Chains A and B, each alone.
Chain A
Amino acid sequence: MIRETIGTIIICIGVLFVAIGVFGLFRFNNFFDRILIGSKIDTVGFITICTGALIRSGLTWFSLKVLLLMAVVMIINPVITHAIARSAYHGGFRLKEEDSDASGD
C-alpha cells in the first residue's frame, strides 16, 4: 500500500514536468528554443512516469515491459528531435526570419 502511494506521487511529479514542457512550448518565439524545451522536458517526464509505474507494480512482467518501453523511448526521442532540427537547418530555415516576425516581444 505504501508502495502504491509513492508510485502515484512520482507519477504526479512526472505530469508536472510535462505541464511545464507544454507551457514552454507556447512561451518561446523561436523554433529552436521551442524544440529544445519541448523535447527535453518531455523526455524527463516520460522517464519519471515510467519510474513511478515501476515502483507501483513491483517486480513482475508488467515492470519488465515498462523497462523495455523506457529504454526504447530513451533512444528514440533524442534521435527524432535531432532529425527534426537537422531537417530545419538544412532545409533553409534560419533564425533571422522568425526574429523579424516576433519583434513585438
Chain B
Amino acid sequence: MIDVVAYSLAALAVLTSLRIIIGPTVWDRLLGFNLMSSKLIMLIVICAIIFEKNFLLDIALTYALLGFVSTLFIARFVRDRGRI
C-alpha cells in the first residue's frame, strides 16, 4: 500500500516539472521548481518509512534548507534584474 503512495508521488513530481517547461514567465518556472522540490522531500520521507533508515530524514532536512537558500537568492537576483 505504501509503495503505491511512492509511485504516485513520483508521477506527481513529473507532472509538476511540466510547469517548469511550459511556464510563460521566469517566476512560473521558479514556482514549479519550488513545488517539485517539496514533492521530492515528501518522497524521501516515504522512502525513509519504506526502508526504515533514519539517515534519509537528515538528507531531506538538508535538501529543504538548500532549496530554501537557493530559491530565495534566485528570486532576489531576478527582481534586481541581474545586479547583485
Q: B42 near A46 (CB under 8 angstroms)?
A: yes
- The B contact surface, by secondary structure, is helix
Contacts of B9 in A (CB 8 A): 15, 18
> Which A residues contact B (CB, under 8 angstroms)?
8, 11-12, 14-15, 18-19, 21-22, 25-26, 31, 34-35, 38-39, 42, 45-46, 49-50, 53, 56-57, 61-62, 65-66, 68-69, 72-73, 76-77, 79-81, 83-84, 86-88, 90-91, 93, 98, 101
Query: Besides A11-B2, A11-B5, A83-B76, 9 other CB < 8 A contacts?
Result: A12-B5, A46-B42, A49-B42, A69-B64, A73-B41, A77-B38, A79-B72, A84-B71, A86-B79
Contacts of B19 in A (CB 8 A): 25-26
Q: A76-B68, A80-B71, A91-B81 are in contact. Are A18 and B42 (CB under 8 A)?
A: yes
- The A contact surface, by secondary structure, is helix
Q: B57 near A83 (CB under 8 angstroms)?
A: no
Closest 5 CB pairs of A and B: A87-B75, A87-B79, A65-B57, A88-B27, A83-B75
Total contacts A-B at CB 8 Å: 121
Contacts of A46 in B (CB 8 A): 38, 41-42
Q: A15-B9, A53-B45, A61-B54 are in contact. Are A80 and B39 (CB under 8 A)?
A: no
